[in-house]
Structures are given as structure tokens and as C-alpha cells.
Amino acid sequence: MEKINKTILIVDDDSDYLFQLEHTVKGFGFDVKTADSQKEAEEILNEFKPDLAILDLMMESDDSGFILAYKIKKKYPEVPVIIATAVGAETGLKFGVDEKADQDWIKADMLLEKGIRPDQLHRDIIKLLKL
């Protein structure tokens, strides 16, 4: 695939999932930076502005992804954020960013259930980056 001059930050504490997602996104032609914790991601964000971020929801704490999304949007409001989570499948909890009230507290542009197909993820990234 053609090289795209954009860098995507992927944050997940599941090393297998992180590796798989990194490989998939690199296959789309993007550069990738990875972090395996909220803390490591915050250190990266102090030095580097990604073009898009894909965050796990539950890492050090159950809301690590929400906290990280909030911090990214505060520092870099224009950076699209995707939260990828299995929390719906694991707990039955349902939440989203389709409603304005949810967007006010969930500082993400998109919520995806883990297990998303690569072609769908590619379309979502392209849409968020307006490529």
C-alpha cells in the first residue's frame, strides 16, 4: 500500500492486540507509534503530536482511555481519537459518541468494539483524517 505521511498513536495494554493493530495500521500505509499504558502514552504526547490516536479503554484503570482521550483533546483538540474497547461485549454496558451529551463527557470522535474488521478500521481512519 502507498505510504501516507501520517502517524497514528496506538495505546493498548494487551501486547498481542497492540502488535496486531500496529501491523494492520502500518499495512494501511501509516507510520505508527505505540504505548502499552496510559502513562507511557502521556510521555509520548509530551514530545509528539500524532495525526490520530487509537486508545484502549481499560488499561491501568477502567477509565484510562477516557482520561487519555480527554488529555489528548485538551492538548491537541484537532487530533481525532478512536476508543477501541471490548467493554460492551464483556460487561453488556452500552455507550457511544452519537449523542451530544455523550460527546460532552467522552472526548472521542469514535468508539469501536474490538474485533473490528481491518477494512472497516481503514475506512474509519480515512474518514477521520479526511484523506
| Domain ranges (residues) in the chain | 7-100
Q: How many CA atoms lie within 13 A of 104 on its CB side?
A: 3
Average pLDDT, the chain: 86
pLDDT for 128 beyond 80: yes
**CA–CA separation, 39 and 42 (whole Å):** 5
pLDDT for 2 beyond 90: no
Position 66 scores a pLDDT of: 86
Quick: pLDDT tens for 40-86. Answer: 999 999 999 999 999 998 888 878 888 999 999 999 999 999 998 87
Quick: pLDDT tens for 102-111. Answer: 445 567 888 8
Q: How many CA atoms lie within 13 A of 32 on its CB side?
A: 20
**7-100: CATH topology:** Rossmann fold (3.40.50)
Regarding pTM above 0.75, the answer is yes
Question: If DSSP states are collapsed to H, E and C, what string results for the chain?
Answer: CCCCCCEEEEECCCHHHHHHHHHHHHHCCCEEEEECCHHHHHHHHHHCCCCEEEEECCCCCCCHHHHHHHHHHHHCCCCCEEEEECHHHHHCCCCCCCCHHHHHHCCCCEEEECCCCHHHHHHHHHHHHCC
